[in-house]
Amino acid sequence: MLNGKISLLQYIPQHYSLHTFVDSIYSKEEKAIIAPRNDTVDEINKYVLNQLPGDKTSLFAVDRITQEDSTGAVDCQMPAEYLQSLNPPGLPTSILELKVGMPDMVLRNISAERGLCNGT
């Protein structure tokens, strides 16, 4: 149980290759996990991440802020820990945690030349 919610582990089998993962999704194409809020999605994602084997890798977003005045001097500095703790609405979290073999999907076009496009 995840805070009184249904157990997701039985619906998310562990896969050791992308091929078996894709096969399992299409065999269950009538099922979906739907959540009304991003914090619920984040909670479910963390739970599933912890169920997968292997070590996780944490990737951090840009963790500095600069602002130049008319002379070009930087007048705004904040600690990276504070910036990483922020989670503004409409933006992804500042820390992305992944494991080798874990499925993921790009939601924005990052680099078409490198194949990093929406939906890949």
pLDDT in tens, the chain (120 residues): 455 555 555 555 565 555 566 566 555 555 666 778 878 878 878 887 887 889 999 988 766 666 666 666 555 667 777 877 777 777 777 888 998 877 777 878 888 888 888 877
Query: Per-domain residue ranges for the chain?
Result: 1-53, 57-102
Strands 56-60 and 95-99, by their bridges, are antiparallel
Q: How far apart are CA 112 and CA 115, in angstroms?
A: 5
Here the tokens at position 80 are 């990276």
SS3 of 78-106: CCHHHHHHCCCCCCCCCEEEEECCCCCCC
